[in-house]
Amino acid sequence: MREVIFDTETTGLDPRTGDRMVEIGCIEMVGRVETGRTFHAYFNPDRDMPVEAERVHGLSAVFLSSKPRFAELAEELLAFLGDAPLVAHNAGFDFGFLNNELELAGRTPINMDRMVDTVAIARRKHPGAKLSLDALCTRYGIDRSHRVKHGALLDAELLAQVYVELTGGRQIGLGLTAEPAEAIVIADAGPTAPPDALWYRPATDKPRREPRPHAASPEELERHRAFMDGIKDAIWAS
């Protein structure tokens, strides 16, 4: 199954008050494994950069002034996203900014039922624990020493590793049973979605192959008997 892990950087906390998205980083995963395909872009927000936001991500208005506007790259971004589930940490925040930019560009917002929130997954798996991306990286032993400031692509790369751990680790779905695992709830759709809007997925959507027999053939058994009979002074024959 294809999924896209993404993160955004912005000028502030609320697109309804004029804040804009200035960076997006996306990581493609298939079967919970990174494929190496990414999408990363900076955007000119056509506004100032508050000093508080710049302290977080280090993106200045001067740096962003030479970057394309979101509308110029919207088609390329949407093509990368496709119809895959979109995974983000505190996903309601990132979806709010992404959909705001799409609306400003005259595009259709992304349906919230595609949203997978790793904060919601972590809250169910580790109730009462710290749920920040940094805290989860520490919990799962994920190296973030190169993370000096927030960056959309870097944070998406870290989140991809956290997401794998939150949903079963690298060995998810490697059971040897021929019976399919039950579908599991992996994320709430967020506060703006209907109460019953949950993202479900089966443990695997690949066709299952029945176990193959591994019994020895009569010829193999006969060769084994002859080999054993040829061993002199065998301790099991005493």
Tokens standing for 35?
Answer: 């494929």
Question: Which single residue is written with the structure tokens 């200045």?
Answer: 60
Q: Which of 98, 77, 89 is nearest to 21 (CA)?
A: 98
pLDDT for residue 229:
80
Question: What whole-number distance in Å separates Cα of residue 121 and Cα of residue 34?
Answer: 20
Q: How far is CA 82 from CA 79, 162, 175, 212, in A?
A: 5, 23, 30, 37
Percent of the chain with pLDDT over 90: 66
Q: What is the rounded average pLDDT for all residues in the chain? A: 84
For the chain, which residues make up each domain, given as ranges? 2-201
pLDDT for residue 124:
95
Question: What whole-number distance in Å separates Cα of residue 82 and Cα of residue 38?
Answer: 13
Q: Which segment of 23-37, 170-184, 217-231 scores lowest on mean pLDDT?
A: 170-184
Full strand arrangement of the beta sheet holding 33-42? 33-42, 21-30, 2-10, 86-88, 115-117
CA 102, distance to chain mean position in Å, is 22
In which band, very low, low, confident or very high, does the pLDDT at 218 lie, cut at 50, 70 and 90?
confident
pLDDT for residue 199:
36
pLDDT for residue 90:
95
Q: Determine whether 150 is an active site residue.
A: yes
Three-state DSSP class for 167? Answer: coil
Q: Which of 89, 126, 150, 224 is catalytic?
A: 150
Cα pseudo-dihedral 60, 103, 84, 183, rounded to 10: 110
Measured in residues, the chain has a length of: 238
Q: According to the CATH classification, is domain 2-201 in 3.30.420.10? A: yes
Task: Kindly state the average pLDDT of the residues 116-140.
Answer: 95
109 has pLDDT over 80: yes
pLDDT for residue 170:
63
Question: What whole-number distance in Å separates Cα of residue 165 and Cα of residue 128?
Answer: 18
Predicted confidence (pLDDT) per residue in 38-87, tens digit: 999 999 999 999 999 999 999 999 999 999 999 999 999 999 999 999 99
In which band, very low, low, confident or very high, does the pLDDT at 178 lie, cut at 50, 70 and 90?
very low
pLDDT for residue 215:
74
Task: Kindly state the average pLDDT of the residues 122-137.
Answer: 95
pLDDT for residue 190:
41
Predicted confidence (pLDDT) per residue in 183-208, tens digit: 333 334 344 333 333 333 334 455 66
Query: Which helix (H) or strand (E) covers residue 152, if one does?
Result: helix 152-166
